[in-house]
């Protein structure tokens, strides 16, 4: 077997995860799809929650340098923390002019490096995650290939990595998180991208098929698109893709064109906004009241949860402190009260927004250890 020489950050990540703190059983809410054991009705047997972590493909060496700014010492070994946090876990101050990140790996890395993405897959699978919701966008052109842009190139590497770990008996699958939120795209671009995806991966076994024979696509930022565009895209692709929206509100006008909802609420604050739990419960109820999809399936509800949020030096002001894992536990339990079909973990590696669980310098394995205990 070829031995890859990973950056320092990834050499230690192939080790077995340390045991996490025991899960608080009273807080765990069992998703609706879990079935009681017929042998022991008084003590039902439950399946572990299915969790897909949002996974971003933009981490090249240049992206790290751009995010850290030209004053950050990228050649240092180890890399210093680029920012300080106050005692609350917020109150963020950058230590370097031009920097937008609060954390760094041991060394600058690129997702184009051999073995890097496979290392992420193995790390996530070892923590009990069901898979990645991989953030991807094509070129928007009628003709595309796996080498048309960095996203497509890295998507293929990720698919190859999933095939490899599956062949070794490790369960791990993919959803697609279509990158259409930061910038509103034309209907033609979306359709060209999805046409390529279906032709390339429509029958690929790396993609999850447990709840549907069709690959799952989350249309990020779907709420920003008109009903006309939703209808045009859905009409063309609903037969080959399970299309989940990213809807803040679920309306009767939009309901016919989406198979369910996976609202991306990365900044949910359980401390200053406790009413958020009621808002999610109402959203879940409205989604489920939407009736059957064209293929006869029920509407799908994917509940978000996150370890925290911090965009105070990355163009925003909001911060949700991690509180030593308490935020992750609270959001998992309280959002789980909506009885989701699945969970969407925000995120594996959205470092600029501070929602990552990928082990880095500041928090190490803290959240992955907690996840492992929650997902037993």
DSSP string, 324-345: GGHHHHHHHHHHHTT--SEEEE
Q: Which two tokens stand for residue 317?
A: 């002001």
CB neighbour list of residue 280: distance below 8 Å, 6 or more residues apart: 263, 265, 303, 304, 335, 338
In a domain, 334, yes or no: yes
Q: Which domain holds residue 127?
A: 46-374
In a domain, 270, yes or no: yes
Specify the number of domains making up the chain: 1
Angle at the Cα of 170 from the Cα atoms of 340 and 131, rounded to 5 degrees: 35
pLDDT digits 0-9 by tens, 125-184: 999 999 999 999 999 999 999 999 999 999 999 999 999 999 999 999 999 999 999 999
pLDDT at position 339, please? 96
In a domain, 34, yes or no: no
| Count, residues in the chain | 376
Q: How far apart are CA 22 and CA 305, in angstroms?
A: 19
In a domain, 16, yes or no: no
pTM of the model: 0.88
- The CATH number assigned to the domain holding 158 equals 3.20.20.80
Q: How far apart are CA 196 and CA 312, in angstroms?
A: 37
pLDDT at position 114, please? 79
Residue 113 exposure: Cα atoms within 13 Å on the Cβ side:
18
Furthest C-alpha separation in the chain: 64
In a domain, 2, yes or no: no
In a domain, 75, yes or no: yes
More confident site: 316 or 14: 316
Residue 30 exposure: Cα atoms within 13 Å on the Cβ side:
9
In a domain, 19, yes or no: no
The band of 46, judged by pLDDT with boundaries at 50, 70 and 90, is low
Over pLDDT 70: what percentage of the chain? 88
Q: Which two tokens stand for residue 253?
A: 């006008």
- Model confidence at 20: pLDDT above 50: no
In a domain, 242, yes or no: yes
- Model confidence at 33: pLDDT above 50: no
């Amino acid at each position: 077997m070829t031995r890859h020489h990973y950056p320092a950050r990834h050499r230690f990540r192939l080790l077995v995860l340390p045991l996490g703190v025991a899960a608080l059983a009273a807080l765990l809410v069992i998703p609706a799809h879990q079935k009681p054991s017929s042998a022991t009705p008084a003590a039902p047997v439950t399946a572990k929650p299915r969790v897909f972590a949002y996974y971003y493909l933009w981490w090249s060496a240049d992206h790290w340098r751009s995010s850290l700014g030209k004053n950050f010492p990228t050649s240092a070994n180890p890399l210093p923390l680029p920012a300080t946090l106050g005692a609350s876990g917020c109150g963020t101050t950058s230590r370097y002019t031009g920097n937008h990140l609060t954390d760094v790996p041991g060394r600058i890395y690129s997702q184009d490096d051999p073995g890097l993405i496979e290392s992420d897959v193995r790390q996530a699978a070892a923590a009990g995650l069901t898979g990645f919701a991989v953030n991807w966008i094509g070129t928007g052109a009628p003709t595309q290939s796996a080498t048309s842009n960095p996203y497509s190139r890295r998507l293929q590497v990720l698919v190859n990595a999933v095939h490899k770990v599956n062949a070794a008996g490790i369960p791990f699958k993919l959803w697609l998180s279509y990158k259409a939120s930061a910038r509103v795209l034309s209907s033609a671009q979306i359709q060209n991208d999805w046409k390529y995806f279906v032709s390339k991966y429509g029958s690929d076994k790396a993609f999850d098929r447990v709840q549907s024979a069709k690959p799952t696509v989350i249309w990020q930022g779907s709420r920003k698109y008109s009903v006309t565009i939703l209808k045009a895209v859905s009409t063309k692709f609903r037969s080959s893709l399970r299309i989940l929206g990213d809807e803040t509100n679920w309306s009767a006008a939009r309901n016919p064109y989406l198979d369910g909802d996976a609202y991306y609420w990365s900044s949910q604050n359980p401390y200053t906004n406790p009413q958020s739990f009621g808002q999610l419960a109402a959203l879940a109820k409205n989604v489920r009241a939407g009736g059957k999809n064209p293929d006869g399936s029920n509407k799908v509800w994917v509940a978000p949860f996150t370890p925290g949020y911090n965009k105070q030096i990355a163009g925003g002001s909001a911060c949700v402190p991690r509180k030593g894992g308490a935020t992750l536990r609270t959001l998992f339990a309280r959002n789980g009260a909506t009885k989701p079909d699945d969970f969407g973990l925000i995120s594996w590696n959205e470092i600029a927004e501070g929602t990552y669980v990928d082990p880095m310098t500041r928090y190490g394995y803290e959240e992955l250890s907690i996840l492992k205990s929650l997902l037993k």
